[in-house]
Amino acid sequence: MNPLFQKKTGSVAEQLTQAGLCFPKSLKLAITNECNLHCHHCWPESRWHKKSSFVKKSILNRLIDEFSAFGGTDLIITGGEPLTHPQWLEVTAGACKHTGIKSVCLQTNGILLTADIVKTLESKAFNKLTLQVSIDGATAKTNDHVRGAGSFDPMMQSLTRLSNSLLKKRTTLAFTEMKHNFEEIPFLFKTMDNIGFSHIMTSTFVQKGRACTANAVSSPTSAQYKKLLDDFHRNQAFNKRYLKMGNIAAIEWFKGKETSFHGGCNLISHPYITADGRMHPCTMLEGEDFAVHHLHRRPFEDALLEGIPIWSELQKKSRKRRLVLEECTRCDGRLHCAGGCMGRAYLSHGKTDSIEDRCVLRKAVYNWKLEYQLR
């Protein structure tokens, strides 16, 4: 913790410790809910409004300062599309210069990354910066099915600019796993490897926000997860590329099946502040019952104090999930899964004491090895 703020934050620090909660280490900060796209799977249901609304730079700078005062070191700037904010570059530059902030990640759909912007971000002033660029298909047809007609080509143009820049090794491609795009994953790895990128991560589709009403997208199936494991073990080229550049849930779950995980969620270690000023203990636990409000008008410290009793109880529930959920007690993967993500469970079923939506996918992965050996 920054010693200049130690006296001020001592009470909060003591209460966090007594409640068994971690100090916030990374902060996901939405600077706007505006977006130049209208994706079917968008959590905050971002879009372009006739009357634009952006979080004031002064508010963002204050929140970053106060987060850092509690020992927070890693900042994720998100939206909406953060590049639609008229002062996004100033906010990002300020975060990179901040002595307490060690890393700054900019989450973007990439379309607005012009040649001039890429050149600016290459400078030493942004040496703490990494980029996370969303891509939801290896082809225009697949990607545009989610992100809208005409979105693939300008995104690929931006990726080409990044691949020819000093930012190439600091760029991660973020792919949302859905039924319609899942089988393109090996081809996506090949394409991005050829361009020169070295980091691809995937996350499973979440039934949240606009996805609740969009019939165009859905979660991948157990059969697709098993096929990907087949590809990983049989396709040497894909296997080699994955080990060099990949992070996919299905493969990581399989690799870690025998690893015990006893901790449960470390709630509030990765809080999320929305563009309308709500703070949630993490990105997934976005229920109103778990939020504290008005961060744009109150100190970060006050919000933590209000949230501690709520989040402490949630963490206790999280750590007991694998012991109390009936489905978990008879599952071979319970030690590794530890009951799964409580936030996803809440989003899927409206309650925290239920299995998460990926339970059937996890079981398919845990059982794949036996099925593979018996073929």
Q: What is the 3-state secondary structure (H, E, C) of 281-294?
A: CCCCCCCHHHCECC
The CATH number that applies at residue 140 is 3.20.20.70
**Is residue 90, in this structure, part of any structural domain at all?**
yes
pLDDT in tens, 226-269: 999 999 999 999 999 999 999 999 999 888 765 655 556 788 99
3-state secondary structure of 109: coil
CB 223 within 8 A of CB 177: no
Q: DSSP of 121-171, one letter per residue?
A: HTSGGGTTEEEEEE---SSHHHHHHHH-TT-HHHHHHHHHHHHTSTTGGGE
Nearest to 192 by CA among 132, 245, 250, 129: 245
Q: How many angstroms separate the CA atoms of 252 and 358, rounded?
A: 14
pLDDT in the model for residue 262:
53
**Is residue 364, in this structure, part of any structural domain at all?**
no
pLDDT in tens, 175-222: 999 999 999 999 999 999 999 999 999 999 988 888 887 788 999 999
pLDDT in tens, 332-361: 787 788 888 999 999 888 899 999 999 999
pLDDT in the model for residue 8:
47
Instruction: Give backbone dihedrals phi and psi of 120, rounded to 5 degrees, phi first.
Output: -65, -45
Buried (b) or exposed (e) across 144-174, using 16+ Cβ within 10 A? Answer: bbbbeeebbeebbebbebbeebebbebbbbb
Find the mean pLDDT for residues 62-91.
97
Q: Please list the residues that pair with 172 across neighbouring strands.
A: 132
**Is residue 314, in this structure, part of any structural domain at all?**
no
Q: Please list the residues that pair with 78 across neighbouring strands.
A: 30
**Is residue 285, in this structure, part of any structural domain at all?**
no
**Is residue 123, in this structure, part of any structural domain at all?**
yes
3-state secondary structure of 214: coil
In the chain, what percentage of residues exceed pLDDT 70?
92
Asked if pLDDT for residue 29 goes beyond 60, the answer is: yes
Q: How many angstroms separate the CA atoms of 31 and 85, rounded?
A: 7
**Is residue 199, in this structure, part of any structural domain at all?**
yes
**Is residue 251, in this structure, part of any structural domain at all?**
yes
Q: How far apart are the first and last CA of the chain?
A: 55
Q: How many angstroms separate the CA atoms of 261 and 55, rounded?
A: 38
Domain ranges, residue 224: 3-255
3-state secondary structure of 242: helix
- DSSP strand E in 14-79: where? 26-30, 74-78
Find the mean pLDDT for residues 92-103.
98
Asked if pLDDT for residue 4 goes beyond 90, the answer is: no
- DSSP strand E in the chain: where? 26-30, 74-78, 103-108, 129-134, 171-177, 200-204, 246-247, 272-273, 279-280
Enter the tokens of residue 375.
């073929």
Quote the number of domains for the chain.
Answer: 1
pLDDT in the model for residue 3:
47
Find the mean pLDDT for residues 31-51.
83
Tokens 């165009």 found at? 216
Give the strand pairing for 103-108 and 26-30: unpaired
